[in-house]
Homo-oligomer: A and B are copies of this chain.
Amino acid sequence: MGDVASSRSEQRLPLSRERVLRTAVAIADEHGIETVTMRRVGDELGAEAMSLYHHVANKDALLDGAVDLVVREINEAVDELDAGGDWQVAVRTRILAARAVLLRHRWASRLLSTRAATSPEVVRYHDRLVGLLRAGGFSFDLAHHALHALGSRAMGFSQELFDPGDGGSADSLPPEVAAELPNLVAMLSEIAHDDPASTLGWCDDQTEFEFGLDLLLDGLDRRRVATTP
How many angstroms from the CA of A160 to the CA of B202 in the assembled complex?
Answer: 19
Q: Which of A35-43, A89-97, A109-117 contacts B (4 or more CB under 8 A)?
A: A109-117
Contacts of A167 in B (CB 8 A): 117-118
Q: Which residue of B lies closest to A109 (CB)?
A: B159
Contacts of A127 in B (CB 8 A): 180-184
Copies in the complex: 2
Secondary structure at the A interface, as helix, strand, loop or mixed, is: helix
Chain A residues within CB distance 8 Å of chain B: 110, 112-114, 117-120, 122-124, 126-128, 130-131, 134, 140-141, 143-145, 147-155, 158-164, 167-168, 177, 180-184, 186-187, 190-191, 201-204, 208-209, 211-212, 215-216, 218-220, 222-223
A-B contact pairs, 20 of them (CB 8 A): A110-B113, A112-B161, A117-B161, A117-B167, A118-B163, A122-B162, A123-B181, A124-B181, A127-B180, A130-B187, A131-B183, A140-B186, A140-B187, A143-B187, A148-B212, A149-B211, A151-B204, A154-B161, A215-B216, A215-B220
Extra inter-chain contacts (4) besides given A117-B167, A219-B219, CB under 8 Å: A123-B184, A126-B162, A215-B215, A218-B219
Which 8 A-B residue pairs are closest in the complex by CB-CB distance?
A149-B212, A148-B208, A215-B219, A130-B183, A152-B159, A131-B183, A127-B181, A127-B184
